[in-house]
Structure 1
Amino acid sequence: MLEIEIDGNKIAIPAGGTIMDAAAQVGVYIPHFCYHKKLSIAANCRMCLVQVEKAAKPMPACATPITDGMKVFTKSDYAVKAQKGVMEFLLINHPLDCPICDQGGECSLQDLAVGYGGSASRYQEVKRVVKEKDLGPLVSTDMTRCIHCTRCVRFGTEIAGIMEMGQVGRGEHSEIMPFINKTIDSELSGNIIDLCPVGALTSKPFRYTARSWELSRRRSVSPHDGLGSNLAVQVKNNRVMRVLPLENEAVNECWLSDKDRFSYEGLNSEQRLTKPMVKQDGKWIEVDWQAALEYVANGLKQIRELHGADSIGALATPHQTVEELYLLQKLMRGLGTGNVDARLRQTDFTSDTALTGAPWLGMPVAELDKLDRVLLIGSTLRQDHPLLAHRLRQAVKHGAQFNLVNPVDDDLLMKIANKAIVAPQAMVNTLAQIAATLATHTGKTLPATVVPLVADIAVNAENDAIALSLSSGERKAVLLGNMAQHHMQYADLHALAQVIAELSGATLGFLGEAANSVGAYIAGAVPVSGKAGLNSAAMLATPRKAYLLLGAEPELDSQNPSQAIRALQSADMVVAMSAYKHAALDYADVLLPIAPFTETAGTFISTEGRVQSFNGAVKPLGETRPAWKVLRVLGTMLGLNGFAYDTAEAVRQALLPHDEVPAGALNNSLSSFKVASVAVADAVMRIGEVPMYQADAIVRRAESLQKTHNAEAPVAQVNSAMLANLGIVSGGMVTVKQGEARAVVRVQVNDSLPQNCVRLASSHAHTAGLGAVMGEISLERA
């Protein structure tokens, strides 16, 4: 600890800190532009110049390390004169366009110019003008305003992991620009808007729509992935105008993914469903809520009486709130059936009877960047979990060894120590190899259920290197991503991952796909843990007479869309509770408009088991109602007990009386599950990952996100050897077949893919008619 005096305040702070760190500790504000606590020190704006006793000149507070006995003066005439001099230089070429600048009202330069700027400029020459840059559909530029703080440049290299912007030129000819006139395509690109201290980089979707002082602010939580990023939802005239990060070091720090930041456009989509609708004689008519709910209640009663309660099924998306999922399963079990599931994209459910709790991350999110060794199994990490990818990237920067078992070899923007890029049907075999050689490296014994499977298995060099990596280090994690959880042998992957974690002393974790992937288990909206009922795949493989859809668009959200559509079309009644008009117009009988997360109170349980509640930011649109209210009234009309809730808080208290997950409810262990086989099939398999901006109903309708490169139409990717065998030229059109399902798409060569694989995204309108996301597939010339 070193003693330092700042403006007469004596404090002791750890050695290695800077004057800026010390000032923050005692609450002394030092003006700055280029400094940011999450970025490296650049010291190029010079606005933080302070007076240091015995120093020959003013010193930059952000870059000056403290020394024992140092005396610093931040408000002395000497310091203020230096700061005013810097401000004068910054304003020399800055345009006087504050009235039309989107940064107005929240601009650091504007604020500091009040205290450190002059009443008039001594500079009489012509100001410079900088040509605008096209950074894509999300970020707008006015580069004449740029003060060259380089925050955006440092963010790209240090946080996003990719250098998409840089600085060229010298003096007043300096410019910040993307390389070779490329757009900014990082999944975290919107953060440069927050980082920019002036109006050089602003939000393109928000541009010229509102002033900052016109906006009211509401706390909320993102529904789009398992992290549960904290949001500040900004509202004007009962309309969400902008979403910004709400700082929480334990969750999203001060960052947001583009999906979380720009998806609000989908809330105001023209496809919003605002009135209940009932189909009569093949035509949709708008009705009042009473008529719609009576129609639903009477229909469910009749189907239960004629065919039994087991003929009714409920499919929910895990993006719904815990309260809604809880009431949905309570409604179904009140009717006499356990046919309710929120795991629509899961294919393999054979381990359900062996689950001992809700699969979760296995550790706090904040510990990810402190790991020494990581094995990631089956994940398009940057697409599925942008901010978890950032934390793992930081771990690698600090020396962690990152190992990967995956069917695709996307650039994760970090150093990969070892990787096994194998076809989906070879992933179980690969994990078995790692487990076998890991037992050798650690001197531990394999479980008896695994020994026969690996007795004669050959271990290749890549898998041996992964095992060797996991046998060292202290803080380790074995993580299963979305693709592993959608895998046709998910249970085997889970079991072998558990073996690997136990042999290596690692934590076993799951990267939750949606806001309530964990919450669905806690709410009982899955047929596991002693709750009898059919899973989502069984409900669609053997069609029910009636379906309740909660927020689900099965044609895009299910693991086998063509099968789902056939099942829904064959049902006697389909009730779609949705915020949007979607393909349910073709197969549903009733559409009930429910509120998205900004129009209702609710709770999400993140992948780390964190319970986060929020209130609505705006009033429900039109006659939209929160889904928990719809389910409450429907339960009452059906004559079921236990639906007398007046508020969402009351529903939450019934499930989570202490506002936290019950002890022991989170557990990744399988009890006595046996791996069936590690044999590798010869069939050609589809790799059908969910595209980043097709993950849920709101994101699909966010116009600006749909204009990005990450939202381009899916193409069938295969390696060049397979393409040559098929006699097809890259760039041509092919017919993709899965059983009776067909789709015509463009084909593209991708030599990073293993043999016998076709990478073709799911959850997209172009591929919605196909079959299983990881099923057998064939290609032929169109």
Structure 2
Amino acid sequence: MSAQPINPSVPPDHVTIEIDGKSLVVPKGSMIIQAADKAGISIPRFCYHEKLPIAANCRMCLVDVEKSPKPAPACATPVMEGMKVATRSEKALKFQRSVMEFLLINHPLDCPICDQGGECELQDVSLGYGRSVSRFNERKRVVADEDMGPLVATEMTRCIQCTRCVRFTADVAGTYELGGMYRGENLQIGTYDGKPLTTELSGNVVDVCPVGALTNKVFQFRARPWELTARESLGYHDAMGSNLFLHVRRGEVLRTVPRDNEAVNECWLSDRDRYSHQGLYSEDRAVKPLRKVNGEWKEVSWAEGLAAAAEILKANQGDNLGVLVHPSTSNEEGALLARLATGLGSANIDHRINNRDFSDAATAEVFGLPLAEIEGADRIVVLGSNIRHELPLLHARLRKAQTQNGAKIHVVNPVDFDFAFSVAGKQIVAPSKFADALANAELRSAVQGGTNTVLIVGGIAENHPQAAAIRAAARDFAAATGAKLCRIPQGANAIGLTRAGVLPAGKDVAAMLADPRKAYVVYGLEPGLDFADAPAARKALVGAQVVAFSQFACASTRDVADVILPIGALPEIDATLTNLDGREQSARAGGKLPGEAREGWRVLRALGGELAVAGFEFIDLAGLRASLAPVNVQVSASAQPVLAGEGMEVASTAAIYRTDAVVRRAPALQSHPLNNAPRIVLNADDAARLQLQEGQMAKVGTDAGKATLPVVVDARVAAGSVWIESGHGATAPLGAARVSVVAA
């Protein structure tokens, strides 16, 4: 028997096939539909989605395979050497048209009132494969709708049972909230228990739905797709920098949808990024320059507002001035703020408003392993993070690492948070014991066998009063185990602002508040809620002159400011942000600036001109960007806070839908089940020791600030700790490391 010839042009793990007469070399094990997609050959489909497991239940992708007596579903038929496939033959078209007719039997004829109209996959495919007249005379079935919460609207009579939404919640989100009920023609998709969707990624079921069964409830009946203009933008509520499109009509952002970027957010979007645009239209948006005259707020012209701001800054130059910047501020605005501080002789500028420990002069760092490669890790340690709320799409990648790569995930946290992945090991300890937990020999031996180990350090650790010691322990752990260190930047653009020089060579945030300056520039902040230590911030700002650049003229800004200059939010300006991978990404202006608000860089340029400081000679955004360059600041370190005193140790996390001013003003997100009311959570033993019961009100706080909050008893909380979510007015006074807890 002679040896078979080997084609040297075909790699050993590939096969040669033919689709519609076109010869292709494709990987072994791939499906016909995947090979066709790579070759640009169109095959109709509904249930198939490249990011979801194969279901093969819609049968729309039936094709004609040579020597096969039956039609083959292209999504579930593996390629084989020498296979010949016809997607447009008479037989294949007959299969596809017959399936199309079956799918339309029960589908309602309500395209004119369907929110999916104009971007509906069923409409598109039926145009090519459907009949112009139905042969079906029987009554169409009707399916009762479920209320899936404030974000997703349902019209389940339109459902074609493709199960994309089911597979998304099961395999990507990991919450298993949707499923098929009943059988045969009675099959319907639902939650079974009728409860709202609780996943932080629920809006993605709208994207994967090929019909109008699941639609965007916030966008419902607002506009038609052909009325909208798409603008490229970015998520700015966490450090991932998800790529997205803003859908705009006449200057109003009506909808946000994901923009594909495999290196960042793949094709998904968190609900926080998807629905936050509602907050742009809050009643307290800053729309005109405001000046406080004799204790009363007065609307003024831009000329008068800038003159008043310049007067304050001229009178308080040098060390008398502090500049406090929100960490989601763009690179362009950050660079100008750094130039402004330098021009006025001040080295007191900082964006690390959530941090408490500055003793190691730590700044945001690029992830040690790129985001897209984390799902390939085989050992992962999560330290001090409710990762599901802090970075929802990184949490999804960790789940992917486990389900597809078998990664073993270990967590060290003060609360046994709910994750959508199973945990190989966990240490639930007070935050002050994080460093000891990392030194644990059992944890180190558990990750030693890994070939690709990652240590992810989150906000609970980064913002703790002993963060310097925790960061040192994390570096030691990484060096001892070979783990890639990934410290989550505390802010959407913390890395960009670090590179832009928005860092103190003089006093840091804590020092500026502990030893108040005579004047402050406050940029993009909501003073009452955005600082780690809100009582200290208010005390310092109330006693000083304050120029506030703000998107909102909220009560806490009016309380401390002397001048409010209205600026645009990210969806309303051209800007660049730098994400946790160090990837600089651009956003285009989508929404119209409200009232007389202006882009922040324009206002800063005008103020810089008024003050005659260097670095403001450019005339447009292109000129500004041409002048940008990384700035190396020798960051000053301050004394480490002392974690001493009586009381419970605070484990503070940012409430998922209270992270910044825009999110806090989005009504749909505030109605979401994940958005808990202000509370304190402690375990049963501590509650019994303090004589507290579930639902009882407790007085919590220190001499600096106190709050009265309801008690929740939960065994998941570490002994000696009390879990508090920040971002609420009620919890804002609790900025201390330890608090006393007594019955109210």
Range of TM-score over shorter length: over 0.9
Structure 2 match to 1:519: 496
Structure 1 match to 2:509: 536
Does the residue aligned with 1:325 lie in a helix, a strand or coil?
helix
Structure 1 match to 2:265: 252
Q: How does 1:127-526 map to 2 (within 5 A)?
A: 127-304=140-317, 309-352=318-361, 358-397=364-403, 398-431=405-438, 433-434=439-440, 437=441, 464=442, 466-526=443-503
Q: How does 1:65-144 map to 2 (within 5 A)?
A: 65-144=78-157
User: CA-to-partner distance for each residue in 1:138-177, whole Å, 9 max, x for gaps?
Assistant: 0000000000000000001110011011100112211100
Structure 1 match to 2:600: 627
Alignment counterpart, residue 44 of structure 2, candidates 21, 31, 38? 31
In 2, Cα distance between the equivalents of 1:619 and 1:174?
45
Alignment counterpart, residue 61 of structure 1, candidates 57, 74, 77? 74
Structure 2 residue 734 is the aligned partner of structure 1 residue 781 = no
Task: Tell me if structure 1 keeps the 8 A contact 2:475–2:485.
Answer: yes
- Name the amino acid aligned to 2:619: D
Deviation, 1:360, is 2.1
Change (3 A) 1:289 1:177: same
Structure 2 match to 1:726: 690
Task: Tell me if structure 2 keeps the 8 A contact 1:428–1:678.
Answer: no
- Name the amino acid aligned to 2:336: L
Deviation, 1:679, is 10
Structure 1 match to 2:679: 715
Deviation, 1:386, is 0.3
Task: Tell me if structure 1 keeps the 8 A contact 2:202–2:271.
Answer: yes
Deviation, 1:119, is 1.1
Deviation, 1:34, is 0.2
Alignment counterpart, residue 63 of structure 2, candidates 39, 50, 69? 50
- RMSD, aligned CA: 2.0
In 1, Cα distance between the equivalents of 2:423 and 2:623?
47
In 2, Cα distance between the equivalents of 1:117 and 1:29?
16
Structure 2: 5+ residue runs without aligned partners? 1-13
Deviation, 1:428, is 2.3
Structure 2 residue 13 is the aligned partner of structure 1 residue 7 = no
- Name the amino acid aligned to 2:343: G
Does the residue aligned with 1:72 lie in a helix, a strand or coil?
strand
Structure 2 residue 551 is the aligned partner of structure 1 residue 574 = no
Does the residue aligned with 1:383 lie in a helix, a strand or coil?
helix
Is the deviation greater in 294-303 or in 378-387? 294-303
Structure 1 match to 2:582: 609
Task: Tell me if structure 2 keeps the 8 A contact 1:47–1:86.
Answer: yes
In 1, Cα distance between the equivalents of 2:416 and 2:739?
20
In 2, Cα distance between the equivalents of 1:82 and 1:771?
66
Task: Tell me if structure 2 keeps the 8 A contact 1:555–1:763.
Answer: no
- Name the amino acid aligned to 1:400: A
Deviation, 1:293, is 0.5
In 1, Cα distance between the equivalents of 2:364 and 2:418?
31
Does the residue aligned with 2:726 lie in a helix, a strand or coil?
coil
User: CA-to-partner distance for each residue in 1:342-379, whole Å, 9 max, x for gaps?
Assistant: 00010000001xx5x75221221111101111111111
Change (3 A) 1:19 1:678: farther
User: CA-to-partner distance for each residue in 1:90-114, whole Å, 9 max, x for gaps?
Assistant: 1111000000000000000011111
Does the residue aligned with 1:692 lie in a helix, a strand or coil?
coil
Deviation, 1:680, is 9.9
Task: Tell me if structure 2 keeps the 8 A contact 1:192–1:201.
Answer: yes
Structure 2 residue 528 is the aligned partner of structure 1 residue 555 = yes
In 2, Cα distance between the equivalents of 1:184 and 1:666?
46
In 2, Cα distance between the equivalents of 1:499 and 1:421?
20
User: CA-to-partner distance for each residue in 1:58-112, whole Å, 9 max, x for gaps?
Assistant: 1100000111111100001111111111111111110000000000000000111
Deviation, 1:553, is 1.3
In 1, Cα distance between the equivalents of 2:132 and 2:444?
67
Task: Tell me if structure 2 keeps the 8 A contact 1:46–1:60.
Answer: yes
Change (3 A) 1:655 1:139: same
Task: Tell me if structure 2 keeps the 8 A contact 1:425–1:680.
Answer: no
Is the deviation greater in 399-408 or in 43-52? 399-408
Task: Tell me if structure 2 keeps the 8 A contact 1:632–1:643.
Answer: yes
- Name the amino acid aligned to 1:317: H
Change (3 A) 1:161 1:666: farther
Task: Tell me if structure 2 keeps the 8 A contact 1:739–1:771.
Answer: no
Structure 2 match to 1:594: 567
In 1, Cα distance between the equivalents of 2:124 and 2:330?
40
Task: Tell me if structure 1 keeps the 8 A contact 2:238–2:391.
Answer: yes
In 2, Cα distance between the equivalents of 1:73 and 1:560?
67
In 1, Cα distance between the equivalents of 2:251 and 2:639?
53
* TM-score normalised by L of structure 1: 0.91
In 2, Cα distance between the equivalents of 1:562 and 1:629?
32
Deviation, 1:654, is 1.9
In 1, Cα distance between the equivalents of 2:261 and 2:357?
35
Deviation, 1:238, is 0.8
In 2, Cα distance between the equivalents of 1:696 and 1:393?
26
Does the residue aligned with 2:604 lie in a helix, a strand or coil?
helix
- Name the amino acid aligned to 1:606: N
Structure 2 residue 722 is the aligned partner of structure 1 residue 758 = yes
Task: Tell me if structure 1 keeps the 8 A contact 2:339–2:614.
Answer: no
Deviation, 1:768, is 2.1
In 2, Cα distance between the equivalents of 1:249 and 1:220?
16
Change (3 A) 1:367 1:675: farther
In 2, Cα distance between the equivalents of 1:675 and 1:274?
41
Does the residue aligned with 2:316 lie in a helix, a strand or coil?
helix
Structure 2 residue 723 is the aligned partner of structure 1 residue 769 = no
- Name the amino acid aligned to 2:389: Q
- Name the amino acid aligned to 1:58: P
Task: Tell me if structure 2 keeps the 8 A contact 1:687–1:757.
Answer: yes
- Name the amino acid aligned to 2:742: E
In 2, Cα distance between the equivalents of 1:108 and 1:358?
43
Task: Tell me if structure 1 keeps the 8 A contact 2:568–2:599.
Answer: yes
In 1, Cα distance between the equivalents of 2:667 and 2:203?
15
Deviation, 1:509, is 1.6
Change (3 A) 1:429 1:676: farther
- Name the amino acid aligned to 2:605: R
Task: Tell me if structure 2 keeps the 8 A contact 1:600–1:626.
Answer: yes
Task: Tell me if structure 2 keeps the 8 A contact 1:700–1:706.
Answer: yes
Change (3 A) 1:389 1:254: same
Task: Tell me if structure 2 keeps the 8 A contact 1:319–1:696.
Answer: no
Deviation, 1:771, is 2.6
Is the deviation greater in 744-753 or in 509-518? 509-518
Task: Tell me if structure 1 keeps the 8 A contact 2:409–2:422.
Answer: yes
In 2, Cα distance between the equivalents of 1:626 and 1:336?
25
- Name the amino acid aligned to 2:330: T
Task: Tell me if structure 2 keeps the 8 A contact 1:609–1:666.
Answer: no
- Name the amino acid aligned to 1:717: V
